[in-house]
Structure 1
Amino acid sequence: MHSHLHTPYNINCEEIMTALDECHARGFIYKALGNCNDIKREVNKCLSVERYDRAKNNRDNARNNRRRIEEIWAKERALDQPAQNAGAENSGAAKQ
């Protein structure tokens, strides 16, 4: 089984997928003799490009989110360091 092809993610491949559906509708023998193979290769190429574009967008979004989170963590560490330094100075003064 494969996932549904006619989805919003694959809208740019709709025309080629429809041509493949029409080719398959001509009958089993027509399809079994390899008459739809060229169209199937075109569908695979189109879907591959679409998948690559989605993956690239997901990676870019993940990098941007990670960069934003790293900045927030850096700000929190900067706020925590003075409090930690002040605590270390007080404990050192108490020992003397």
Structure 2
Amino acid sequence: MHSHLHTPYNANCEEIMTALDECHARGFIQKALGACNDIKRDVNKCLAAERYQRAKRNRDQARENRKKIERIWADEKVLEEGGPAAAVAASAAGGAAAGEK
């Protein structure tokens, strides 16, 4: 058995799911004889497509988040190693020391 189908995540499949509900409401004989099977296959296809799109959006968002984190890590590594600001300060101090001699 699956979870509740009528959710905001499956809004694009609402029409097909309603048709399946109506088919099932016609009675047990309809379900037992397979009269609703084609509609059920359509529901499954629609839900699979929705799930695929949702997973793709999540993957893309995760990749973007990972890029941001890696940029932050790279910036922190530069700062830990002395970074450009430290290099500029060191060269300025070195130049001043050379001028004093």
TM-score, scaled to structure 2: 0.80
- Say if 2:10 is the partner of 1:6: no
Report what 2:24 is aligned to: 24
Q: Which amino acid aligns with 1:25?
A: A
Name the residue aligned to 1:41: 41
Alignment of 1:67-82 (within 5 A): 67-82=67-82
Question: Any unmatched runs of 5+ in structure 1?
Answer: 84-96
Q: Give 4+ residue runs of structure 1 displaced > 2 Å after superposition.
A: none
* Larger RCO: 1 or 2 (CA < 8 Å, sep 6+): 1
Q: Say which one has the larger Rg.
A: 2
The residue type equivalent to 2:62 in the other structure is A
Cα distance in 1 between the residues matched to 2:19 and 2:47: 14
User: Residue in 2 aligned with 1:64?
Assistant: 64
* CA shift for structure 1 position 60: 0.1
User: What is the CA–CA distance in structure 2 between the aligned matches of 1:7 and 1:41, rounded to whole Å?
Assistant: 19
Structure 2 residue runs of 5 or longer lacking an equivalent are 84-101
Task: Work out the percentage of aligned pairs sharing the same amino acid.
Answer: 76
TM value normalised by structure 1: 0.84
Question: What's the CA shift for 1:82?
Answer: 1.5
Q: Residue type of the partner of 1:24?
A: H
